[in-house]
A = this chain, B = another copy of it.
Amino acid sequence: MSTGTNGQERLYLFDTTLRDGAQTLGVDFSTEDKRLIAERLDTLGIDYIEGGYPGANPTDTAFFENPPELSNARLVAFGMTKRAGRSVSNDPGFAALLQSSAPAICLVAKSWDYHVELALGISNEENLQAIAESTEAIIADDREALVDCEHFFDGYKANREYALACAKAAHDAGASWIVLCDTNGGTLPHEVEEIVRDVAHELPSARLGIHTHNDTENGVANTFAGVEGGARQVQGTLNGLGERCGNANLTSIIPTLTLKEPYRSRFVTGVTSERLKTLTHVSRYLDEALNQAPNRSAPYVGTSAFAHKGGIHVSAVQKDPRTYEHVSPEAIGNARKLLVSDQAGRSNILAELERLGIPVAPDDPRVRSLLEEVKRRESLGYSYEGADASFELMARRHLSNVPSYFDVERFRVMVERRHNARGELVTVSEATVKVRINGDAVLSVGEGNGPVHALDCALRKDLGVYQQYTEELELVDYKVRILTGGTDAVTRVLIETLDTKTRDRWFTVGVSPNIVDASFEALIDSITYKLMRENVVAH
């Protein structure tokens, strides 16, 4: 591992997204998810990647049986210290750890005497022995042994001597890192700093790590407090994934360490400024793997992190980004966004049009009327912040013109659940569409898993001269939001389309009380957008 240049100290990054993060409500990684996420963490420059708990569940066991190839990072397996009163070889849980392929093993060791009694039901002395023997067994097996002191801060407050004794037992047994964990997440920054400093003073030769949670929304601050106190390994997860309120968020910690003083000058990590540019991608990739919408307001990487809505802000940012941005969005692979929204001023609209390459004079009165149109449609439930393609279509229709390629005269979608000939209960979805292209009527029918899919199939089945283009389109995601709730709800549909030729993706929006209508509108926008960007001439 590279060491600090020009007097900087090396700070180590330990990611536990695949282990502690897997405890998150609704998170369920497949073995393949884990492999792909580990590879991205490796590319980012993480030092340790905790992959899971071999033996605890089939996914984790399979992951370690066939581990990813890592170029920078070291793969870590997580497990418990051996049970008291058993030899390491005679503890199946511990054996599973040693059977895993991991070059490093992170042991969780209880360091709060109350838990030793309540959860383990053994004596404090037996627990110290278990910590020492388990650590030694890992080292004897030629692996790196890290020890997580569970509940360290609560344990320290309840019984300082014993908490320190646990850390010392691990250190004396040869653990490479003693990681102090705020398992319940209730410790506040000033306490974390004080306690870590005391441990560093008591165990001067030990290398300390800090592992915090976000239960008081201080997960990140507690991590930096730990570093202030002397910790040189920070543990956390991507996007702050983790049980309850999540773990310390590495996605926020890493850019602060890399870009901001005093950390930038004091420390060096495996994340170079070049690698930092992949952070936004890695963060969004994780959300994709979890099939969840990224947190727009996430620090550094959120789509809103550098979004400017208020008119004053927008004009100032355009004069000089420093006026409203503490770091440059490009540094973490994110981008500035000047919002087209209900609060948008002329400057936002103009900036968007420029980004889209739509030429217009700043004083053109149509800019004002376009703004009014955006506001009118947003009041109906449209949202263009997530639907660039629909915004571009509307803007071009308003400012230049978009050919009218085809006209859908009518459609009918039918979903039927009935018993089929074999007496099985089946559900079929069928759609018929009547399209008029250059005067000729085309009637198409399509089947699908559901009404929208059937409509999409029917619509793209025969678009005559445009067929070659629509065949390149793939409906990759479909989001539905009910805007007012209840039976009078208005439904907003966002459709993500993939152009299989160019690999471009775009988003279109549709709004209607009827989900099928809303979907239809978004589908039509998507097809029209494709034809427009291919400069197809209307027939």
Q: How far is the CA of A452 from the CA of B451 in the complex (A)?
A: 11
**Contact yes or no, B244 A304, CB < 8 A:** yes
Q: Please tell me if A312 contacts chain B, counting CB pairs below 8 Å.
A: yes
Q: How far is the CA of A417 from the CA of B458 in the complex (A)?
A: 14
Chain multiplicity (copies) = 2
Q: Please tell me if A185 contacts chain B, counting CB pairs below 8 Å.
A: yes
Q: Which residues of A from 506 to 536 have beta carbons under 8 Å from B?
A: 512-517, 520
Q: How far is the CA of A24 from the CA of B339 in the complex (A)?
A: 11
Q: Please tell me if A246 contacts chain B, counting CB pairs below 8 Å.
A: yes
**Contact yes or no, A450 B514, CB < 8 A:** yes
Q: Please tell me if A100 contacts chain B, counting CB pairs below 8 Å.
A: no
Q: How far is the CA of A350 from the CA of B313 in the complex (A)?
A: 54
* Interface residues contributed by chain A, number (CB under 8 Å): 111
Chain B interface: which of A83-91, A388-396, A406-414? A406-414
Across the interface, A429 reaches (CB within 8 A) one of B216, B224, B478, B514, namely B514
Q: How far is the CB of A124 from chain B (nearest CB, A)?
A: 17
Q: Please tell me if A302 contacts chain B, counting CB pairs below 8 Å.
A: yes
Closest to A325 in B: B184
Residues of B within 8 A of A118 (CB): 316, 319-320, 323
**Contact yes or no, A326 B25, CB < 8 A:** no
Q: Please tell me if A252 contacts chain B, counting CB pairs below 8 Å.
A: yes
Q: Which residues of A from 164 to 213 have beta carbons under 8 Å from B?
A: 183-190
**Contact yes or no, A299 B216, CB < 8 A:** yes
Q: How far is the CA of A319 from the CA of B291 in the complex (A)?
A: 36
Residues of B within 8 A of A482 (CB): 291, 477-479
**Contact yes or no, B417 A415, CB < 8 A:** no
Q: How far is the CA of A477 from the CA of B486 in the complex (A)?
A: 5
Q: Please tell me if A294 contacts chain B, counting CB pairs below 8 Å.
A: no
Residues of B within 8 A of A416 (CB): 410-413
Residues of B within 8 A of A476 (CB): 485-486
- Contact A186-B478, Cβ < 8 Å, known A28-B342, A245-B302, A307-B244: no
Q: How far is the CA of A450 from the CA of B186 in the complex (A)?
A: 47
Q: How far is the CA of A412 from the CA of B415 in the complex (A)?
A: 6
Q: Please tell me if A1 contacts chain B, counting CB pairs below 8 Å.
A: no
Q: Chain A, 221-264, contact with B by CB distance < 8 Å: what is the 0/1 string?
A: 10010001000000000001001111001001000100010000
Q: How far is the CA of A422 from the CA of B89 in the complex (A)?
A: 84
Q: Please tell me if A487 contacts chain B, counting CB pairs below 8 Å.
A: yes
Q: How far is the CA of A477 from the CA of B487 in the complex (A)?
A: 8
Q: Chain A, 360-391, contact with B by CB distance < 8 Å: what is the 0/1 string?
A: 00000000000000000010000101000000
Q: How far is the CB of A412 from chain B (nearest CB, A)?
A: 4
Residues of B within 8 A of A216 (CB): 220, 252, 256, 260, 299-300, 326
**Contact yes or no, B304 A512, CB < 8 A:** no
Residues of B within 8 A of A302 (CB): 244-245
- Contact A25-B215, Cβ < 8 Å, known A244-B306, A478-B489: no
**Contact yes or no, B220 A385, CB < 8 A:** no
Closest to A475 in B: B487
Residues of B within 8 A of A514 (CB): 415, 427, 429, 449-451
Q: Please tell me if A103 contacts chain B, counting CB pairs below 8 Å.
A: no
Residues of B within 8 A of A413 (CB): 414-416, 451
- Contact A252-B217, Cβ < 8 Å, known A320-B118, A475-B487, A486-B474: yes
Select the residue from A244, A417, A516 with max chain B CB neighbours within 10 A. Answer: A244
Q: Which residues of A from 100 to 151 have beta carbons under 8 Å from B?
A: 114-115, 118-119
Q: Please tell me if A404 contacts chain B, counting CB pairs below 8 Å.
A: no
Closest to A414 in B: B414
Across the interface, A385 reaches (CB within 8 A) one of B25, B298, B517, namely B25
Q: Please tell me if A453 contacts chain B, counting CB pairs below 8 Å.
A: yes
- Minimum-distance CB pairs A-B, first 6: A186-B326, A221-B221, A217-B252, A449-B513, A480-B480, A410-B418
List 6 A–B pairs whose Cβ atoms lie within 8 Å, in order of A's numbering.
A119-B316, A188-B260, A214-B299, A245-B305, A412-B415, A477-B482
Give 14 A-B pairs besides A214-B297, A245-B298, A291-B483 with Cβ atoms closer than 8 angstroms. A23-B309, A23-B310, A23-B343, A118-B323, A189-B221, A216-B220, A245-B302, A410-B419, A412-B414, A449-B488, A449-B513, A452-B515, A456-B487, A474-B487
